[in-house]
Amino acid sequence: MCDLVVNARSREETVKCVGSGHSFTSTAVTKGHLVTLDNWSGIVSIDRSTLRVTVKAGTTLAVLNELLHAEGLALPNLGDIAYQTVAGAISTSTHGTGVSLTGLAGQVRGFTLIDGQGQILHCDLENNADIFDVGRVSIGALGIITHYTLQAVPAFRLHAVERALPLDVVLERIDEFVDSNDHVEFFWLPHTPWALTKRNNRTEEPLQPLPKVRGWIEKTFMENVAFGALCHLGKARPSLIPRLATALPSSGKREYINDSFKIFASPRIVRFYEMETAIPRASLVPALQEIRAMIDAKGYLLNFPVEVRFTAADDIPMSTASERETAYIAVHVFKGMEFEPFFRDVEAILKRYESRPHWGKLHFQNAEELAQKYRRFGEFVALRSRLDPDRVFANDYLKQVLGD
Ligand SMILES: Cc1cc2nc3c(=O)[nH]c(=O)nc-3n(C[C@H](O)[C@H](O)[C@H](O)COP(=O)(O)OP(=O)(O)OC[C@H]3O[C@@H](n4cnc5c(N)ncnc54)[C@H](O)[C@@H]3O)c2cc1C
């Protein structure tokens, strides 16, 4: 791989590493050489004294979760799906929910990188500490990452409680809701007053998974097959969308206990476009109320929920939660339906709340704007110039978000 980089550099060609290709942005797209790490998977070593695990960067989170579980370990937090590679997820600042926990990049204790000159650099707090500090979220701009060392925790179980509540009640009690649960998220169903809330808390109680058939019906059928059918219907007859939205579950309560990774991530079969934006946690309620009013005023017909999550602040310069406790608002549009006017209107509102786009999800912000939103943006750009002076890892997306 080092030769590939050296040769590409000498021929003024570009190289891009792709993970599972699960980003909605063109962050992994290239006109040059495309590197996949599909066969570069697995745990290399585990330090039992620190619970630090070194993994190959192409390992998917799904595979890593199972491997860690077999060792009595887990990652402390995960996002909604586990199809991503470790490198892809960390490079775009992928996160789950939980106000006392950071996104995945916050678990990075070291990484190995092939830079734009073909050099292999091991980076942690002792070696190349400046690269480690600035490069934990890299948006694929600094080089090809071959390994990560991640902080794991002992395997744990979660008690999941899922129930629909009126959105107004959720927003009125949002601080209590977020502060008194380990992991909180909610999905507001546009055209309805309902929010589907999910609260996951650590428990020592024994496993109590959803029975297999019920689990399949509720997780795979209702959340994917039936939901997908409603989306197709709404796409064919948009005027039906507000009525179809009320067919989504708005009452009842579901509780179960399972291994953490089986609760954090679930199958996602329905295809959609997504924009997710990080704002300061304290801005959530006014920002969401503005989006709600805008949807009504403009008459958008939306058949996908708006998802809200929370994370702790971290110290990673290009993390979307850098230096601030964060709320994330994600909007979705069913595949094949027009998304841009709606996403632009949401983005315009959230720009008034110091918004930072998820690096892997659709947005329209450029380097000039983003430089204002990250205090250490300049340090990241300088590191990029040091590690990749000839822009071997450049692509159109990096031009948009980092400039030349
Ligand atoms: C259905 C769905 C659900 C999602 N849920 C969540 C969620 O819950 N939370 C969340 O935060 N995000 C979520 N995402 C977004 C997703 O986590 C990110 O887009 C993530 O980057 C995808 O990982 P990937 O392996 O597919 O990476 P890719 O999309 O293939 O690549 C992402 C970036 O990483 C770079 N990269 C990949 N491998 C390497 C490497 N070895 N070295 C250097 N750079 C590399 C690529 O060049 C690119 O810049 C979701 C996406 C989808 C489609």
Residues carrying CATH 3.30.465.10, the chain: 2-154+366-402
* pLDDT at residue 323 greater than cutoff 80: yes
- Nearest-atom number in ligand 1 for the CA of 94 is 11
Residue nearest to atom 11 of ligand 1 (CA): 94
Residue nearest to atom 35 of ligand 1 (CA): 140
* pLDDT at residue 221 greater than cutoff 60: no
From CA 83, how far away is CA 266, in angstroms rounded?
10
Q: Who has greater pLDDT, 21 or 248?
A: 21
Which pLDDT score, from 0 to 100, does residue 212 have?
Answer: 67
- Nearest-atom number in ligand 1 for the CA of 397 is 49
Residue nearest to atom 20 of ligand 1 (CA): 89
Residues carrying CATH 3.40.462.10, the chain: 157-357
Contact 143, 393 (CB under 8 A): yes
Percent of the chain with pLDDT over 90: 85
Which range has the top average pLDDT, 79-83, 228-232, 264-268? 79-83
From CA 78, how far away is CA 264, in angstroms rounded?
6
Query: What pLDDT band is residue 214 in, cutting at 50, 70 and 90?
Result: low
Instruction: Report how far ligand 1's centroid is from the alpha carbon of 387 (Å).
Output: 22
Residue nearest to atom 31 of ligand 1 (CA): 88
From CA 293, how far away is CA 355, in angstroms rounded?
19
* pLDDT at residue 66 greater than cutoff 90: yes
Query: What pLDDT band is residue 367 in, cutting at 50, 70 and 90?
Result: very high
Instruction: Kindly state the tokens that stand for 366.
Output: 């450029």
From CA 346, how far away is CA 56, in angstroms rounded?
37
Show the ligand 1 pocket: residues with CB < 6 angstroms.
Answer: 16-23, 27-28, 37, 57, 79-81, 84-85, 87-89, 91-92, 94-95, 139-140, 144-145, 268, 358, 360
Instruction: Report how far ligand 1's centroid is from the alpha carbon of 252 (Å).
Output: 34
| Residues 6+ away with beta carbon under 8 Å from 90 | 104, 105, 108, 136, 137, 148
* pLDDT at residue 236 greater than cutoff 90: no
Which pLDDT score, from 0 to 100, does residue 216 have?
Answer: 60
Round the average pLDDT of the chain to a whole number and report it: 93
Instruction: Report how far ligand 1's centroid is from the alpha carbon of 136 (Å).
Output: 14
Residue 224, classified by CB atoms within 10 Å of its CB into exposed (0-12), middle (13-18) or buried (19+), is: middle
Q: Which fold has domain 157-357?
A: Vanillyl-alcohol Oxidase; Chain A, domain 3 (3.40.462)
Residue 71, classified by CB atoms within 10 Å of its CB into exposed (0-12), middle (13-18) or buried (19+), is: middle
Which pLDDT score, from 0 to 100, does residue 266 have?
Answer: 85
The whole-number average pLDDT for the span 221-225 is: 62
Which pLDDT score, from 0 to 100, does residue 157 have?
Answer: 98
Contact 261, 319 (CB under 8 A): no
Which pLDDT score, from 0 to 100, does residue 268 have?
Answer: 79
From CA 225, how far away is CA 269, in angstroms rounded?
8
Q: What CATH number should be reported for the domain whose range is 2-154+366-402?
A: 3.30.465.10
Query: What pLDDT band is residue 204 in, cutting at 50, 70 and 90?
Result: very high
* pLDDT at residue 396 greater than cutoff 70: yes
Residue nearest to atom 22 of ligand 1 (CA): 22
* pLDDT at residue 287 greater than cutoff 80: yes
Which pLDDT score, from 0 to 100, does residue 16 have?
Answer: 98
- Nearest-atom number in ligand 1 for the CA of 20 is 26
Which pLDDT score, from 0 to 100, does residue 316 have?
Answer: 98
Characterize the bridge pairing of strands 52-56 and 73-74: unpaired
- The residue whose CB lies within 8 Å of the most ligand 1 atoms, and thus the one to mutate among 4, 18, 55, is 18
